[in-house]
Amino acid sequence: MLHLAVFASGRGSNLRAIDQAILDGQLDARIVAVISNRAASGALDFAREHGIPALSLSEIAAEAEDSWLQEQLAKCGCDFISLAGYMKLLPAGVVSAYRHRITNIHPALLPSFGGKGMFGRHVHEAVIASGAKVSGATVHLVDEEYDRGPIVMQRCVPIADDDTAERLATRVLEIEHRIYPESLQLFADGRVTVRDNKTSIRS
């Protein structure tokens, strides 16, 4: 079983999808903490409503963030971290302490349309402006850069000629809600190995 800390900055729909998959018996995990860099976030509200420890980074000084986070993660028994709409880089010490045990979800097919500033609506606008015919969602392991690290799972959605960023975002989000719990279950089952910066999934 994964003891998950979910980091989320915003509304928290991926957090809800993870929680629902656990309730439905599709994901062998327990959410041990929800952590946000924004005090007012839907994700923290959800955690409080569901009796999950809800931690805000907004009062923590930047230089204390790394050690504070490592301490809190240890305290709540976290053994795996999922970024779910977390719009800030994780401190290097946390990345290193949880190497290959941190995932992120991104609303496009990485390594395209990722990196600093590529979040939410900006991603879908860039995808549509590029003339790409497909987009999708990516779950990947996290390293020290935004949206980089070995890819775990991707799924595509077609782009219609008259698509808007809003419509594309809605369809990609549906995919996100499916592939994030599925990817986490691969880790819960111990099926993911990492070599040469690539993952392989044992069947």
* Backbone φ, ψ for residue 141 (5° rounding): -75, 150
Q: Is residue 153 near ligand GAR by the rule CB under 6 A?
A: no
Q: Is residue 11 near ligand GAR by the rule CB under 6 A?
A: yes
- For the residues of 7-38, what is the DSSP string, one character each? E-SS--HHHHHHHHHHHTTSS-EEEEEEEESS
Q: Is residue 149 near ligand GAR by the rule CB under 6 A?
A: no
User: Which CB, 50 or 75, lies closer to ligand GAR?
Assistant: 50
Strand 192-195 and strand 54-56: pairing?
A: unpaired
Q: Using the rule CB under 6 A, give the single segment among 72-80, 88-96, 119-127, 195-203 that binds ligand GAR.
A: 119-127
Q: Using the rule CB under 6 A, give the single segment among 69-77, 112-120, 156-164, 182-190 that binds ligand GAR.
A: 112-120
Q: Is residue 167 near ligand GAR by the rule CB under 6 A?
A: no
Nearest one of 77, 48, 169, 5 to 18, comparing CA atoms: 5
For the chain, list the strands marked E by DSSP: 2-7, 29-36, 54-56, 80-83, 102-106, 134-141, 151-158, 192-195, 198-201
Binding-site member from 32, 44, 47, 107 for ligand GAR (CB under 6 A): 107
Binding-site member from 57, 85, 184, 187 for ligand GAR (CB under 6 A): 85
User: Which CB, 54 or 123, lies closer to ligand GAR?
Assistant: 123
124 is catalytic: no
The 3-state DSSP class for residue 145 equals coil
Binding-site member from 132, 151, 157, 173 for ligand GAR (CB under 6 A): 173
What is the token pair recorded at 67? 């050690």
What is the token pair recorded at 170? 């809605």
Binding-site member from 105, 109, 139, 175 for ligand GAR (CB under 6 A): 105
The 3-state DSSP class for residue 146 equals coil
Q: Which residues here bind ligand GAR, judged by CB under 6 A?
A: 8, 10-14, 84-85, 105-107, 118-120, 123, 147, 173, 176
